Amino acid sequence: MKKCIGILFTLAVVAMAGCSPSRLFVENDYSYEGHFKNYESFNFLECEFVDSTLLCSDIQDAIRHQMEARGYRVSNRNPNLLISYNIFRSDLRFRGYQQPVMKDWVVREDDDATYKRIDYNLDEGTLMISLIDAESYQVIWKGYASKMMRNQNFKNNYFKGIVRSIFDQYPLMATAR
């Protein structure tokens, strides 16, 4: 009996590991035009998922948590950043960039930095989060996680770990004025 329970426990751990965010492909790109030292507030663009309001609120709650943990505040009037997100339900060819570590670049603001193109073939179920400079409407940071749609029964907090994995790529804190 103990051997049977041990085997069931091992199978359960292996099954849960197959659905964990650590198995995701997570990457990010940023714009050298971003004024990262000046951002302190954010708000969301309208959610465009037709199939689920719950999906919108789960993702927004997870993003809001990550932004607030970095010191950004939600603002309905004149936010510095607008946040957009989308889930691509089929495979996606995507152009990314190999860049210096973001935190290092923000400190130096290297004017000679160049974009080194990388083409990705992202699997179905890619969540892409974009931070947009509200003044210029330019995307200044984009984080994405692929291979997340293993669990089609989006349970409460399903996106929390995935969004956290994406925002682990965004090491900056809000400016304090």
Maximum CA pair distance of the chain? 66
Model pTM? 0.77
Is 159 among the domain residues? yes
- 106 versus 156: the higher-pLDDT residue is 106
* H-run or E-run covering 60: helix 53-69
User: What pLDDT was estimated at residue 147?
Assistant: 73
Is 4 among the domain residues? no
Is 114 among the domain residues? yes
Is 53 among the domain residues? yes
pLDDT digit string, tens, across residues 52-62: 666 788 899 99
Is 154 among the domain residues? yes
- Taking the alpha carbons at both ends of the chain, their separation in whole angstroms is 63
User: What pLDDT was estimated at residue 140?
Assistant: 95
pLDDT digit string, tens, across residues 125-162: 889 999 999 999 999 999 999 876 655 555 556 788 89
Which CATH number covers residue 76? 3.30.160.670
Distance CA 158, CA 39 (A): 28
Question: What residues make up the domain containing 139?
Answer: 24-167
* 66 and 171 Cβ atoms separated by less than 8 Å: no
Is 18 among the domain residues? no
User: What pLDDT was estimated at residue 176?
Assistant: 62
Strand partners, 98: 116
Domain count, the chain: 1
Is 143 among the domain residues? yes
Q: Answer whether residue 2 shows pLDDT above 70.
A: no
Residue 42 DSSP code: E
Closest CA to 144 of 121, 172, 175, 173: 121
Is 119 among the domain residues? yes
pLDDT digit string, tens, across residues 3-48: 444 443 333 333 333 444 447 788 889 888 899 989 999 999 988 7
